[in-house]
Structure 1
Amino acid sequence: MASSALGKASPFPAIPRNSLPPEPGFSSTFFSFLLPGRLLPSFRPLKAEINVILISFCANSVGNGGMGGWRRKADLAIPVWRGNAILKSSFHEYRPKFSDKKLKEVELPKKIPEPQEESAAKPAEGRRRIWEMIKEVKAMLSSMGDGEITSSAYDTAWVAMVPGAGGCGPRFPSSLQWIVDNQLDDGSWGDQVLFSAHDRIISTLACVVALRFWNLYRDQCQRGLLFLKENMRRLAEEDEELMPIGFEVALPSLMDLAKGLGLDCPYDDPALQFICAKREIKLKRIPRELMHKVPTTLLHSLEGMPGLEWQSLLKLQSSNGSFLFSPSSTAYALMQTGDENCLRYLKKVVDRFHGGVPNVYPVDLFEHLWVVDRLERLGISRYFEAEIKQCMDYIFKHWSEHGICWARSSEVRDIDDTAMAFRLLRLHGYRVSPGDGLQPSDRPTRCRRLDPIAQSDPAAAVDDPDALAPDSDNLLQRPGPQLPSPASLQQSHADVFQNFKRDDKFFGFIGQSTQAVTGMYNLNRASQLIFPDEEILKQAKNFSYHFLREKHASNQLLDKWVIAKDLPGEVAYALDFPFYASLPRIETRLYIEQYGGDGDVWIGKTLYRMLYVNNVLYLDLAKADFNQCQAIHQLEWLGLQRWYEECGLNEHGTWQNFLLRAYFLASVSKFEPDRSAERLGWAGTAVLAEAVANSTTPDAIHSKLTGEVLVGHILRLLDRPCPLKLPIHIFRRHLRWAWGEWLLKLEVGENQQRSCLLQGGTALLLVRSIELCAGRTEPEDEPARLEYDRLVRLTISICGRLQSCARVDQGSKVRIESDSDIESEMQELVKCVLEPRGPNGLNRETKQTFLAVVKSIYYLAWCPSTKLNNHITKVLFEQVE
């Protein structure tokens, strides 16, 4: 056991000093420090210490960091795989001390699992399994087309009722057979895993009607009728939020069909009577004239409405022959009109799903968007960069100034898909403006402004006919297809959200009866990527935030589009940690617990599942990847503590809790295994800066941080491998300059009220150190240099303002939120980082480093100490089960 600087024996095993050969020609003579002679006298005793500590620290990467293995002996790598590099005794024995800078306390976990014996093959087996899962996911993503979605018994029943030529039998006998093959043990049809009364009742009734329609399979029909009699009452017991699309209109229509076929159904059940009453109210509100002239959400549920003018409706048919991509609505239209385009669409869908049909198809945009979102939030997107690029190109190809919906070539749009697309396109560097992204000749605009839709309830879409009237006039008066004007080409595409705003409110679709939680959730996430002068996003952010806060406070977070494992947890995190304060690995750690895998169910006309969006394989891969990265981080943390103790940094006012915080911020921002040097450079720079700042206060000028006190400890590190990606002389020159500039601007004495980590100059020093460890130097070409200087200015200014807001109490969050200067400069920073600048612009990775450092400082000033402790524990020390 090595002697601890805290006065106790170190609980960590000693790392063999000569386990790896030294780098050829690598000696301590390389590290003579040549700070400019104009430095203040009080800084001169620090010259050798700063240079040797930092360069040797950055050279002390624990390994190359990838899944290909470590350049360390097997006996050192084995215990790391399960994340047991930090031994139990190190937590309950250690009580961190605090400097007088009033830093938030970091309480280490009191208990973690004891190390377990493992075979030397365990790490290799784990890596092999990860790569197998990656290959499986890649195969899935490469096969993405119009969407992998489960079949709907309700829609299949409508397709099965389509008569063939001459009306002697079903046009689609395979659909009728699908119904017979998919009856559940209790006699019902519907989702076989999750019981929802609404889903089971309407699916079972539709299938029973289809079987009796052809007078076939009487036993199956009787079992279905028995289920209806026993369970119709359950409709009154279920939350209305779980009611499928158009349920109030579709169910009574089916009951009328059943009565006409002589089926013995519970027509007088009170629950059914209540739904029939709601149907009459909704049918009276439908603006019949409008729905026959322009595409609306009502096209999705035509099978529930009598007295339709089919010659007018056929003009609103989608280009693929469907009516708003609904098989049941299209089947009803085919029965009424015999339209060949309807038949063509249904044939394609029936063949695609082997007799069954989904409740909506295609769902290509929905699938592409939500797959990317899930992969990114689970922290595994880096394995699928090529596939994600293809997804985003596909989304951008179908993006319009009116927004998008779940399927391409749609004349109606919804706020949910539009918000998700906007956020992802902006995050991935797409210029979501048609004038900037494409030339006018490449993309004509739509001729009409059409009402948007989220898998919406067509009956609910007319709850407020007056809401439709103003837009209907515009729709009918606009001329034919036209190209955008030069003025519109310069307009930010954030204005797409004007299509979903009326007065001071935002909506998922015009005339909606209830607001969807997920629609506002995704609108809030999109609005957090606001650029300067995007007033519509500011309004969207305020509206969605207050809506979600009210829903969360009243525990009313059931959503009408999805039944998710932990939607309240997702909403709470988005509200408590907005984009500026959300760090990647923290979000991933929490989302792994919130993501339901294939247990999450979507609500359309019936319950359905998106097989590529909600997949347990993603979850398994995310867990394995997180635990592997955590094991690497724990090994790095072990090495950091030994380095800290050998340097005696606690003697200079830098306590171990500060070291833990610094490494935590680095590891949650640059978590990838191959970024070990960047993490260590980040953490080491932060700790050394704090030590130097503490040693340059009036009370510490004559401290022990002079001469060769630290040199002996530092030189022990120099025989370890150097993973630097730059030649050592270039690395040393740039690093020396960065530290020299920082020292000249360091606040000392009375001006240094808090940790120097919150100072703008220290944030810039972190950026420069991280960039050097990543093998990048400051740009020299003018276009890139201008961007770089702008980011430098913003970083220093923002962090300085955050420093003035930070307090040891819980008031810092309120002060940050109310500081308009911080908000405006963060908007400018986000724009600088995310907006594409052309081939001669600043390296995207460098811009992301600036953003990562600023966000980490924002998080530190924003996050309450209890949350900070919890995040450190969960991310660094708790394995994902």
Structure 2
Amino acid sequence: MLPVADVPEKPPGKLARLNSSRGLNVFFDSCRTSPQEGLEEDFEEDIGFENFQRAVKDAINLHNNEVSAYDTAWVARISKVFQGGSLVPQFPEALQWVERNQKDDGSWGELQPTTKFDQYFATLSCLIALKSWGVAHECIAKGEQYLQENLAILGDKDLKYVSHGAKVAFAAMLEDAEKLELSLYSSPSASPPPFVEDLFSYRNKVLERLRTVADVIADCPKKLLCFPEGLEPVLDWEGIGDLQFEDGSIFSSPAATACFVMRTKDSKALNYLTSLIGRFNDAVPCMYPTPLSEILSIVDHLERLNIDRYFSAEIRELLDILHRQSEFHGYEHDELPSEDIETQAMIFRVLREHQYDVTPETFLLEGISNGQIGELGARGMLQLYRASELIFPGELLLDYTRNITTGALKNILKTTTDAALKKEVEDHLHSPHFMQFRPLESMKYIDRFDSSVEANETYFEMTFSRLMHKLNPLMVAFAKVNFNNCQVTYQQELQELTKWDEDHLRNVYNFQRQPLLPAFLAGAVGMPDPKLSLARSVWTRGSVLVTVIDDLFDEATLHDGIQGLRLFHESIKRWDSSIVDSCCESVKTLAKLLMSEVDSLCREASEAQGRDLTRFLRAIWQDVIAEFLTEAEWNDTGYQPSSEEYLRTGSISFGLGPITLYTIFCYGEHIPDEMLDSDDYLDAFDLVNRYGRLINDLRTHSREVFGGHNSFISVYEREHPKLSKQEAYAGVQNLLKGLASKVFSQLLNSRYTSPEVRDVHLAMIRSLYLMYYEVDGYRFTTHELKKQIQRFFYKRFPLD
């Protein structure tokens, strides 16, 4: 069952050659266990993990509405005409709030700003508001002194976690400050620091580029357009009103809305700001209300970057609220509008992925019935498509949704000129998102952000959420730190496993496959948490042993024939290696090796669980060897089993039991015996094994038939003689699709109470999909898989 790989293609650093018996080169960087100096330290020094955690936790907290000095200052700048024609503040209470809330050091902003730039951003906004109205001169002087001291030492390093839109908005405010003759530099005649000149240059390039487009509103990247206050010279302010939300806001942003009011005097937008000033005691938050779709997008962003485990409690709290409110078919919280089908699809998908008991009708039926699906753009179609992937048996609504969205997305591929969107759609149509390993996906996802400039946005950047754009550089940077740190752990584990492989197994690699590295890849990406080292080790060693014994039975003619296999089976059945003393050297070696290694694994599992599991865990191997022999005897005699007989035997002989069961016991939690005797567990275990057998046979059919072995496809063809080979193949594919749906209904069921058992089974399903989606990746490692192995284990992310 398990893999061969050729990696990496062009290794870094000093190399050591391993696995050379069949030309398999595995290279290790001689310094691979040493972190790239400065990366993790830089992030901790610049941001700090606690600051980063707090910013993200606040963003996904439904009840967090901390007021924003930056946004309140923008509201304070709005004027109205007083009697006699003079201009006065529309919101004098906001202006007074700014004056009252200056800090002792002269700055404004959060008590614990995430970055230094956040403090400067808020302070400059407040200074402009006060200077515009010619009030609070002492506050202005203190604020000027604060910026003089800090802007002089601000550099590129301080801007690397700042979004493009915020940079443009900051440059625009610096221009406003110059017009107001604010003293921001060491002396009135002093030249702006280099970073200020760079910001001006960057903004000018953005504005020049936007002046050349036919429609700024349509063509401006949303990461810039969500900060319209930075694009005033080129924006059609009446045109941006077409994007106004129902509540009157521009993108739920008080600052953007204030800027819009200053240019248009829009009454609906003014009413929105008036309501906020009243609600938040003379100030406004940075975003209100935070659209639920944006909060869920942040959660999805964390998951795709593989850093969601740092926020598991907060994510669970959010999902608990959403699930509780969905059960009552309404929302207790007045800030959770979610009637649009796109948001409903996001809620349904994330709840089902996290094993909440939900039905698609609760979330999607109304929107589909009233025609909302026909009004969706690319983002909405992608959300519905992803929701439809999690179909359980008999869910006709999701089946319908899948068909509709598939057609719509294929049409988008034909018509879109947006390269980032096209790539996102292609990836989703190519393979189910839910079947992807997050650590592998995170590599590609980070790459997309690193390669994106203002004109090229990733799928999740195609929103007007200032919150997302503010957090995005921080999340991507931390994801790189997380990836690099985990990679060090995996490299150390791989060293130990390679030594184990060389000491115990390398001399028996005269068979078909050499499985260590691909097996460890599956374990590492399926159980990425660094604390799961034992589980990854047990998974990998079990996989290697299954592969080696599987090859022994597949190549019986080379090793004493069927009689030798019968003696091998008898020795494992009795756990007595002397039974194979009369056999050839390979059979004797493998029998002794298997018993020794299984006993070692049993000791580790028993120690992890605090009870002796040896008898139970030996029996799992004995069952697998018995079915190996059954298949070998079928091949020897030419017996043709029925499809059910074949699946019953083949699902065990596929060898997942010794991998999954041992891993579950070493996952770190107590697993009671009765859990493994439950119908839920046994049904899920059987479904996963059958899924593995079918997806394997779909990719190995030709080779198995050529070698004289049975395959489910050949059995299926024999039982359906009227079908062509293509029709039989399609029939088996449909059976596999149905099995996947049943697997999901088991593993994502709220009754499935053991996260450890569920996680290991999901890791196995995803590893099977990874290895067998296109070819038998365990035997013929594809170019793409080679690249993933090389990248995952050997290439670190720079943080610059």
Q: Mark yes or no: TM-score above 0.5.
A: yes
Question: Aligned match of 2:305 in 362, 365, 378?
Answer: 378
**In the alignment, which residue of structure 1 is the partner of 2:680?**
787
Paired residue for 1:436?
none
Give the one of 68, 73, 78 matched to 1:160: 78
Q: Does the residue aligned with 2:89 lie in a helix, a strand or coil? A: coil
Q: 1:804 aligns with which of 689, 694, 697?
A: 697
Counterpart CA distance in 1 for 2:346 and 2:662 is 35
2:246 to 299, 324, 336: 299
TM-score, with length taken from structure 1: 0.57
Tell me the C-alpha RMSD between the 2 structures. 5.9
Aligned 1:449-468 pairs, distance under 5 A: none
* Residue 531 of structure 1, CA deviation: 1.8
Matched, 1:429 2:344: no
1:169 aligns with 2:88: yes
Distance 1:338 1:842 in 2: 49
Indicate the percent of aligned positions where both proteins have the same amino acid.
18
Q: Does 1:828 align with 2:695?
A: no
Instruction: Check whether the contact 1:659–1:687 (CA below 8 A) recurs between aligned residues.
Output: yes
Please say if 1:688 is aligned against 2:545: yes
State the one-letter code of the partner of 2:497. L
SS, match of residue 793 in structure 2: helix
CA distance in 2, matches of 1:241, 1:338: 24
- In structure 1, what is the equivalent of residue 763 of structure 2? 852
Q: CA deviation at 1:548?
A: 3.1
Residues 772 and 299 (structure 1), Cα distance of their counterparts in 2 relative to 1, 3 Å cut: closer
Secondary structure at the residue paired with 1:748?
A: helix
CA contact (8 A) 2:355 2:750 kept: yes
Counterparts of 1:276-295 in structure 2, within 5 Å, are none
Q: How far apart are 1:738 and its partner, in Å?
A: 0.8
Secondary structure in 1 matching 2:351: helix
Q: Give the structure 2 partner of residue 646 of structure 1.
A: 503
1:876 aligned to 2:760? no
| TM-score (structure 2 length as normaliser) | 0.62
The answer on whether the counterparts of 2:340 and 2:372 sit within 8 Å (CA) in structure 1 is no
AA in 1 matched with 2:743: L
Gaps of 5+ in 1: 1-5, 7-82, 98-106, 184-191, 212-222, 256-264, 284-295, 304-317, 433-491, 559-565
Match of 1:536 among 397, 400, 420: 397
Match of 1:625 in 2: 482
Deviation at 1:826, TM superposition (A): 1.3
334-343 or 703-712, which moves further after superposition? 334-343
Please say if residues 693 and 748 of structure 1, whose CA atoms lie closer than 8 Å, have aligned partners that are also in contact. no
Structure 2 residue runs of 5 or longer lacking an equivalent are: 5-10, 99-123, 133-161, 181-199, 565-583, 639-645, 704-724, 776-781
Higher mean C-alpha displacement, 702-711 vs 862-871: 702-711
Matched, 1:524 2:385: yes
Deviation at 1:763, TM superposition (A): 1.9
The letter of the residue matching 1:140 is A
| C-alpha distance in structure 2 between counterparts of 1:642 and 1:805, whole Å | 34
Matched positions, count:
627
Aligned positions of 1:278-357 closer than 5 A: 299-301=246-248, 343-348=274-279, 351-353=282-284
Q: Which residue of 1 aligns with 2:779?
A: none
Q: Would you say 1:501 and 2:398 are equivalent positions?
A: no
Write the letter of the residue equivalent to 2:307.
I
* Equivalent pair of 1:690/1:757 in contact (CA under 8 Å): no
For 2:68 and 2:430, the matched residues in 1 are separated by: 35
Q: Say whether the 8 Å CA contact 2:660–2:764 is kept in structure 1.
A: yes
Pair 1:763–1:301, CA change in 2 (3 A):
same
> Following the alignment from structure 1 to structure 2, what is the Cα–Cα distance between the partners of residues 825 and 117?
41
3-state SS of the aligned residue for 1:88? coil
Letter in 1 for 2:312: E
1:589 matched to which residue of 2? Answer: 443
Cα gap change, 1:794 to 1:342, in 2 (>3 Å): same
SS in structure 2 opposite 1:379? coil
| Equivalent-residue separation in structure 2 for 1:856 and 1:340 (angstroms) | 54
CA contact (8 A) 1:524 1:540 kept: yes
2:408 equivalent in structure 1 = 547
- Residue 132 to residue 238, structure 1, CA distance change in 2 (3 Å): closer
Residue 429 of structure 1: CA displacement?
A: 2.3
1:807 to partner: Cα distance? 3.9
Residues 783 and 842 of structure 1 are in contact (CA less than 8 Å); yes or no, is this contact kept in structure 2?
A: no
Q: 1:639 to 1:165 in 2, by over 3 A?
A: farther
Deviation by residue 1:54-111 (Cα, 9 ceiling, x = unmatched): xxxxxxxxxxxxxxxxxxxxxxxxxxxxx99x962327x94746xxxxxxxxx757x7
Q: Which residue of 2 aligns with 1:769?
A: 662
Tell me, yes or no, if the aligned pair for 1:806 and 1:861 is still in contact at 8 Å. Answer: yes
Q: Could you give the per-residue CA deviations for residues 384-410 of structure 1, whole angstroms, max 9, x where no partner exists?
A: 2222222323433554787999x9545
Map Cα deviations across residues 710-760 of structure 1 (whole Å, 9 max, x no partner): 758997999999585446862212211111111122233665999x99866
Alpha-carbon shift at residue 669 of structure 1 (Å): 0.5
Q: Residues 688 and 765 of structure 2 are in contact (CA less than 8 Å); yes or no, is this contact kept in structure 1?
A: yes
Tell me how far 1:615 sits from its aligned partner.
Answer: 3.6
Q: 2:432 aligns with which of 578, 593, 598?
A: 578
CA contact under 8 A between 1:162 and 1:331: conserved in structure 2?
no
Name the SS for the 2:656 alignment partner: helix
Contact persistence 1:647–1:713 (CA under 8 A)? no
Q: Distance in 2 between matches of 1:153 and 1:768?
A: 55
- Superposed, 1:716-727 pairs within 5 Å as 722=604, 725-726=607-608
2:613 to 731, 735, 744: 731
| Offset of residue 862 of structure 1 | 0.2
SS at match of 2:212: helix
Kindly indicate whether the alpha-carbon contact (under 8 Å) linking 1:524 and 1:544 is maintained by their aligned counterparts in 2. yes
Structure 1 residue 787: Cα displacement: 0.5
Deviation of the 1:159 alpha carbon: 7.9
Where does 1:362-377 land on structure 2 (aligned, <5 Å)? 362-363=289-290, 365-377=292-304
2:33/2:491 contact within 8 Å kept: no
Change (3 A) 1:117 1:763: closer
Give the AA of the match of 2:689: I
Question: Which residue does 1:704 correspond to in 2?
Answer: 585
What code does the residue aligned with 1:548 have?
L
List per-residue Cα deviations over 1:748-803 (Å, max 9, x = no partner). 3665999x998664123322121232367875548970111211221232222212
> Which residue of the other structure, out of 383, 388, 391, is the alignment partner of 2:315?
388
Residues 796 and 238 (structure 1), Cα distance of their counterparts in 2 relative to 1, 3 Å cut:
same
In the alignment, which residue of structure 2 is the partner of 1:663? 520
- Alpha-carbon distance change, 602 to 638 in structure 1, aligned in 2, over 3 angstroms: closer
Is 2:128 the partner of 1:181?
Answer: yes
Higher helix content, 1 or 2: 2
Matched ranges for 1:416-495 at <5 A:
416-432=342-358, 492-495=359-362
Cα 1:179–1:649 change in 2 (3 A) is: closer
Residue pair 1:154, 1:606 contacting (<8 A) in 2 also:
no
- Deviation digits for residues 680-719 of structure 1, max 9, x if unmatched? 2112112212222222343124542344677589979999
In the alignment, does 2:748 pair up with 1:748? Answer: no
- Does the C-alpha gap of structure 1 residues 122 and 530 become closer, same or farther in structure 2, counting only changes over 3 Å? same
Cα distance change on mapping 1:578 and 1:117 into 2, 3 Å:
closer
Contact 1:758 1:802 in 2 (8 A): no
Shift of 1:363: 0.4
Within a 5 Å distance, the mapping from 1:127-206 to structure 2 comes to 133-143=48-58, 144=61, 145-146=63-64, 156=74, 160-161=78-79, 169-173=88-92, 178=125, 181=128, 194=164
Per the alignment, in what secondary structure is the counterpart of residue 629 of structure 1? Answer: helix
Structure 2 counterpart SS, 1:592:
helix
CA distance in structure 1 between the aligned counterparts of 2:625 and 2:208, rounded to whole angstroms: 79
Task: Single out whichever of 570-579 and 730-739 deviates more from structure 2.
Answer: 570-579
Structure-1 separation of matches of 2:428 and 2:330: 23
